[in-house]
Amino acid sequence: MSLGFSNAGFQILASVDIDDSAAKTAEYNLHHLQEESPYEPQSLVGDVRNIDPSDILPQGFDSDLIVIGGPPCQAYSMAGRGKLRSLGAEREHTKDKRGNLYIDFLNFSITAGARAIIMENVPAAVNYGGKNIPEDACSFLEKNGYSAIWTILNAADFGVPQRRDRMFLIATKSDSGINPFIPKPEYCCSNGTITPAGRSFSRFLEESKHFVRPHIAEETSNWVTVGDALSDLPQLFPSPETPYHLPKPSEAKAYRNSPKNDFQRKMRGNKKSLSGHAFRRTSRDFPIFEKMKAGDDYRDAVVIAEKLLREKLRMSEIDTVANPTRYKLLKKQTIPPYSLDKFHDKWKKLDPQSTSHTVPAHLGTDTYSHIHPEEPRGISVREAARLQSFPDNFVFPCSMGDAFKQIGNAVPPLLAEAIAKSLKQEILLSHE
């Protein structure tokens, strides 16, 4: 989110993150952008509940202070709820202390004297054990002198090659002259419409007095596809027989071809090569990935794996009855061990002609959710970054797992930039 605001012309004064690796990535990429600022950006690693705004904000700053952020979503998201339930009844999501950290974020923002506050989270926050978090937050802010609204935006509607619904709360100080706003989507799917906001939570939207639906811009472009986003990146792994190579984070690779569209030109800037193009070594599954078709999921992968196993048994002449040990070993080396009942939507091969499905933080654990559309592998760090609209000059100075996690947790920079530009316009109008 900070990158999008920086690209829209806002100065990053300070940042707080509880994750040390994420904080270092942000500081590495964002603080050098403030060369013309009279203020030295401050970066802290820690719990926002234990930090006073005066500890990190520059002395004498008297311009329009904006606070942006995203409290943890694990207590709200469907994936987070499932994980918590698996840990036992005492870990039920409504008992997760992180579910109330939005209040601490808002208190921090109010104490800082923010003229505007932007808060992001998952749409499922509208039903946290019966509590509508964005609606509750808007009411809380109104009691503290703010005008507040919230909406649900799809990143694909703002030029990001990914269908990603997220809740955004926008609040402005009531006496600031700045009006709360909703940026207008400038991209749409092929039928000329934007994604209906909060399709899965329509009842909660209808009951919410602070919810505002986005209105599409008069002129729009088609959604950016996976092919639009990735087709100029270097080829890494053309076949399962290709030797695996794990590049160093700084290892540079030349682009495959000249930029083919506006998105690629935007991501590349003036760069002639890129780095951070590493992917995971999942040797068992490379032959499966190769035979999967666009849109295939785990159910298709299992059918392919079983066919591969039968072929291996035929070629090796292993008798499953006479040689059970060898058979079990070959099966383990060929067929993924996951349950078909609850795992089928965890694998997905990307379609180059379509926009990607949501890029999750779970990429930090594995990349089965996003299998490359052309090569037999999971997507690379750089490809995940592209699907989130991080430019190629954005560096992830950390482990591969941390990089994937940070990318999946992020607000897509192009979406954040659209929000920031709308806010900037409202600020300019308030100064006239």
> pLDDT by residue (tens digit) across 30-43?
876 556 667 777 88
Pairing of strands 165-173, 146-154: antiparallel
Across the range 155-162, mean pLDDT stands at: 97
- The whole-angstrom separation of Cα 388 and Cα 406 is 11
How big is the CA angle at 376 (ends 371 and 378), to the nearest 5 degrees? 35
When comparing pLDDT for 345 and 110, which is higher?
Answer: 110
Q: What is the 3-state secondary structure (H, E, C) of 52-106?
A: CHHHCCCCCCCCCCEEEECCCCCCCCHHHHHHHHHCCHHHCHHHCHHHHHHHHHH
Average pLDDT, the chain: 89
Size of the chain, expressed as the number of residues it contains: 432
Secondary structure of residue 172 in the 3-state scheme? strand
When comparing pLDDT for 430 and 400, which is higher?
Answer: 400
Q: What does the pLDDT read at residue 34?
A: 57
Q: Tally Cβ neighbours within 10 Å of residue 399.
A: 12
Across the range 133-138, mean pLDDT stands at: 94
When comparing pLDDT for 426 and 341, which is higher?
Answer: 426
Q: What does the pLDDT read at residue 89?
A: 54
Q: Is 261 buried (19+), middle (13-18) or exposed (0-12) by CB count in 10 A?
A: middle
Q: What does the pLDDT read at residue 182?
A: 93
Answer whether 374's CB lies under 8 Å from 352's CB.
Answer: yes
Q: Choose the catalytic residue: 73, 138, 188, 398.
A: 73
- The whole-angstrom separation of Cα 351 and Cα 355 is 8
Q: What does the pLDDT read at residue 343?
A: 75
When comparing pLDDT for 208 and 420, which is higher?
Answer: 420
For the cut 60, the answer to whether the pLDDT of residue 352 exceeds it is: yes
Amino acid of residue 14: A
Q: What is the pLDDT of residues 70-125, one digit of tens each?
A: 887 677 665 544 554 454 555 454 455 666 889 999 999 999 999 999 999 999 88
73 in catalytic set: yes
Domains of the chain: 2-223+413-431 (3.40.50.150), 226-409 (3.90.120.10)
Does the predicted TM-score (pTM) go above 0.85?
Answer: yes
